[in-house]
Structure 1
Amino acid sequence: MTLKQHALLALSLFSSAGLYAIPIESRGLSQTNPSSAQSSIQNPNSSMENSSPISGNPSWDLLQKAQNLENQIRELRGKIEEQDHQIDQLTKELNSRYADLDQRLTLLQSSDQPDEQDNQPDATPNPAPTANTNNTATNTIVPAPAPVPANQQELEKAAYTVALDAYKQGGAKKAIAPMQNFIKSYPDSVYTGNAYFWLAEFNLAIEPPNYKEAKKNYEVVASKFPNSAKASRALYQLYSIANDVEKNQATAKVYKNKLLSAYPKSEEAKYFK
């Protein structure tokens, strides 16, 4: 082959290689259209704007607001539960202090009663001397009634204290049985009227409240212990149960009138003025 033929063959090979190289180089790695690639190069932020449509989506905004409201409601519920717990603790503490004060006052009043009885004159008069001094017959002396033993009063006081301490230590539910036992063991004690009152209060304080038992014990205080310091309060509680729980306005009015007529100067009577 001549030199001229070699030159022509080489020239044809170079020209054909260029034709095959053009489509390979003109095709991008991402297989995108050259026009779109060029537009993306000219505006690089356009792809980012199109890829994040969430910021302008109304549904997304509503979802975010709903989640925020849910979080706020959850926080408020937590605060309300905490405050309810604090109120419950304060209520129990106040009731405990009230029970303790009532216990102290009752014990003080009962401790004064034996002294008053001792200071009273003897109801049995001394027998008058007979006219005949020479009569050797002895006069018949009527014995005085035996006083209540001091140890019996101490037992009553201790039993009543145990019943109230059960409330201060374990709440109303655990105090019901000790108070019932006290009433059963000492039905004629100076503390029995107060015991019925506290038994009614304990039945109101449990969950759920036992209005039937509470009402029954308040009735005992109002009817059998009208001179008790708890009688006016018992009538007011009976009024409240009839008016607020039973929705019996006629019965509530009866309790109200009885309270105002029997205890017009009581603290409970002031509630209706």
Structure 2
Amino acid sequence: MHSKIAVTTLVLAISTSAVAEDVPVIELGVNSDNTGTAPARIQYNNASSSSSELLMIVQQLQDEVRALRGQLEQQSYKLKQMERQQLDRYRDLDRRINGLSSGTTVTNTAADPQPTPSVNSVPKTEPPAMVQPDSVPSDSMAYREAFGLVLQRNYPEATEAFKSFISTYPQSARLPNAYYWLGEIYLAEQKPEQAREPFVNVLTKFPKHSKAPDAAYKLGVVYDQLGDQAKSREYLDMVINKYPDSAAVKLATEFKRAQ
């Protein structure tokens, strides 16, 4: 009788201590012959362990969601920045085109097209000569026709016209302008890869031309669109350091600050 009481007390004590902890629960059974010698059965309480694993999984998922949300915000910011830069490029091109078509002065566009000499500059002893159509240089006419297509915003035909001008008149004084406007057209058409070469030609072949600072700035824009930030800043710094007196310095500084 005393041995049965002791066994029952042991079972209750061990079972109680195992409720909240992952420790073995020992149950002592009794044989059918009431000898009390049945083998012990060992069970484990895994409720606490499963809860811990579930909590870890939830925390891991929350961390991943926060990381994805951060990446989404970064991509959204970059997209808005690209849209703003594209709008600025179109506005810049429209400003230049509208300024030229209305006859107003546009920065670094004095050679687009070439101005006509003033009558007051001709000596009074000689009457001003009448300019006949046949006396106008052929490269001037070809350039004006190509630039007229830009004013009309007929970019596909303007592209072909400037390409033809470059190949036909390689010694023309208007060659830097032709290269520059070819690059501008490609940028307006969102073709930065094609725009790179014309701007590079302006900068390398005509580094002292009035279009050189603008070409350097546009190369900064081109490489930014191509995803090469280091190259983009290299050209923007070139504008700031090599052409400090040009109007392109302000554009380069603002663009670099926005990157």
TM-score, structure 2 as length reference: 0.49
TM-score, structure 1 as length reference: 0.46
Structure 1 or 2, whichever has the larger Rg, is 1
Greater helix share, structure number: 1
